[in-house]
A and B are shown apart, each in its own frame.
Chain A
Amino acid sequence: MPRHAAFTAAAALVAMASAMPLAAETAPQDVAYDDIGAIAEPLSETAGNPEEGAKIYADKGTGNCVACHAISARTDAEFQGNIGPSLDGAGDRWSVEQLRGIVADAKRTFPESMMPSMYKTAGYVRPGDAFTGKAGTEPLPPLLNAQQIEDVVAYIATLKE
């Protein structure tokens, strides 16, 4: 192979690798929860971005956290729900590791919690294919991906009284 062609191929490989969804993500089934439901290690290599997390928090198609939780400062979000606790000051009350565990699978911290598990893919009763009402096949895509979890956790961590 001519030298320049080899170089081009190598460059293309590097470019592909960096554009691909992070190789170093922890898959839902591989997450290590501690005995109180916290997750010590970040789920993705890229640090959580609180600004992205704030968007995911209020976005109906992704996190939609706002459906059940309220944050006083979020005057941009109409009709905040009150099923779950207010998240004002949540960044004071919980460590990042605890927040990561709660966002990923709250039932490991609060066994009776109504909160959906955002980073879980199997073990459901009559799992569906999203909101179609039809059967889905486990493993289901998680409700949020690893980076989205990290972003939301980074955002919640900023909520200080």
Chain B
Amino acid sequence: MTIPFRRAALAAMACALALPALAETAPESTDPIVINGGEVELQTAAPAPEHLDGALDEIYSGWLFRDPDTQTMQTDDFENPGMIFVDQGMDEWNMVEGEAGKSCASCHEDVSESMKGVRATTPKVNKDGALWSVEDYVNDCRTSRMQAEALDWNGDRMKNLTALISMQSRGMPMDVAIDGAAQPFWEQGKEMYYTRYGQLELACSNCHEDHYGDWIRADHLSQGQTNGFPVYRLKDAGLVSQHNRFRGCIRDTRAETFPIGSDEFRALELYVASRGNGLPVEGVSVRH
């Protein structure tokens, strides 16, 4: 089963003339994600942020591009397989570790208070002028305040924590800063977004700006929005971080990818997040 999609007139014309197709295919419906019988409602569309300068008219949650079964899993927190990791993240939050004898909760106490809004505004430039993702803030706390070891960016413990932290912003619109100190990082990320990497010479924009709504075989292309991360990905049967997803996409262009946790991916994370400014944080989304 698939959601019906409206083909843009442009696409039809391009096909008829056999020119290379350039089609943005808007979802026919932009119903909100209604979770737990209405307890939470997440908008799935928003006006494109101004900085996109008309590259997109509207921005859409990746949820709209998934099949109904996958969509349904995200409408009930008991059915969302990502929520078990949020629970594990809470255990992590309270776990005392390191020389200082502290847990996250020792300083930050109630996660629902202290972490509210963090996910919606990250990555951001820290007090020393570096661009930091949520993972960087976690590891800085661990190494400097807890005097514990840093967690592996792509490991389960880190993903559980970022899932927990992300959930505290669920429903809040993405709102990363792109000006001031953030601007050079944002420009770097933008440059990457439009660079055609690898032997397949594909930029993020080729699929996610020019062809969202179209199909690469059975793969329905979304706008590549990141407001649902970390996602529970059915294909991986686990949580997937943003950098892991970036790595996979660039690898699939037959390119030398960038490492998870690299400055390049931080910059790309900021730029892609800014393309979704206005879409609500989904906490832990479900995708395939």
Binding site for B on A (CB under 8 A): 66-68, 78-86, 89-90, 93, 106-107, 110, 112-117, 124-136, 140, 143
Contact = CB atoms under 8 A, between A and B. Distances in A.
Nearest to B202: A114
Interface residues of B, number: 35
A132 B253 CA distance: 10
B216 to A, nearest CB: 5
Contact of A68 (B14, B201, B216, B254): B216
Contact of B20 (A66, A113, A117): A113
Given A68-B216, A78-B218, A128-B257, 14 more contacts: A79-B218, A81-B215, A82-B215, A85-B18, A85-B20, A110-B19, A112-B20, A114-B211, A124-B197, A124-B199, A126-B255, A127-B199, A131-B251, A132-B251
A140 B201 CA distance: 13
Contacts of B11: 82
Contact of A134 (B197, B201, B256): B256
Nearest to B195: A125
B198 A125 contact: yes
Given A125-B195, A125-B196, A127-B199, A82 B21 contact: yes
Given A85-B18, A127-B256, A117 B216 contact: no
B214 interface: yes
Q: Which secondary structure dominates chain A's binding surface?
A: loop
Given A113-B20, A131-B251, A125 B197 contact: yes
B217 A133 contact: no
Nearest to B198: A128
Contacts of B206: 114
Contacts of A143: 199
A114 B214 CA distance: 13
B211 A128 contact: no
5 contacts: A90-B18, A127-B256, A128-B256, A133-B251, A134-B256
Contacts of A127: 198-199, 254-256
B256 A83 contact: no
Nearest to A115: B20
B256 A116 contact: no
SS class, residues of chain B in contact with chain A: loop
B257 A133 contact: yes
B234 interface: no
Contacts of B195: 125
B102 interface: no
Quick one: which of B23, B195, B215, B256 has the most chain A CB within 10 A? B256
A84 to B, nearest CB: 6
Contacts of A93: 18
B131 interface: no
A93 B19 CA distance: 11
Contact of B14 (A85, A126, A133): A85
B288 to A, nearest CB: 14
A140 B199 contact: yes
Given A130-B254, A133-B257, A83 B198 contact: no
Contacts of A134: 256
Contacts of A79: 215, 217-218
Contacts of A116: 199-202
A133 B250 contact: yes
B145 interface: no
